[in-house]
Amino acid sequence: MLSINNKEPWAFWPTRICNGFSPLAGNQLISGRYNFEFSLDFTIRKTYGLKSTIFSILPIYTCLNYYNEHMSNIDVHTKKGRDWREIKDTIFINKKHNVTVKNLANSTFTVCIDNEVVIETQQFSHVTDPQMIFGATNLPWHHDNHNYCDIDLHEFKMFHDDTLIAYNRFNKYFYDKSFDISNNCNFIHKI
């Protein structure tokens, strides 16, 4: 398990730390142009402020936010603009949850929390080098919009065209990186 603390987010951004190890790194697949699916098991331990971010995908600003035991939301950036949904009575502090995100290239983008669909929208956006941030909305060196939380990550898996390309169980680390047991160098690392 990876325990992320306030103001210490981690990222799924392998091109930042090992550019060139793979012809198509896992973070580059988080795009409307590719078939991908990722699954994250997490537990929120503590929140700060009015809103806390479980994960965000930058720079296209797609994120899962927690407000309180009765209200969360998902923002998704599509080719047509932003799509947003309220999520009521679904995410709770100190309870393990699963979020699964599935994109069909140039088609549907679906997010499920604990096997319940919370949003299905069309045509997820594309950028060439996206980053997924855990425990914050934004990168720490940006001066606003952080929405930190203390969060435990239990497991992260990512598939491209049904092939496992990243698998982090957060039980083996080196130099502030979680070892990717798929052996594809798709590390999750401390920012």
101, 62 Cβ separation under 8 angstroms: no
Residues with Cβ within 8 Å of 166's Cβ and at least 6 positions away in sequence, in order, are 12, 26, 38, 156, 157, 158, 180, 182, 184, 186
> What pLDDT does residue 29 have?
93
> What pLDDT does residue 51 have?
93
> What pLDDT does residue 18 have?
75
Beta-bridged to residue 160, according to DSSP, are 36, 163
- Which stretches of the chain score pLDDT less than 70? 19-23
CA nearest neighbour of 99 among 62, 124, 147, 49 = 62
Q: If you classify domain 2-190 with CATH, what class do you get?
A: mainly beta
189, 178 Cβ separation under 8 angstroms: yes
> What pLDDT does residue 17 have?
81
Domain ranges of the chain: 2-190
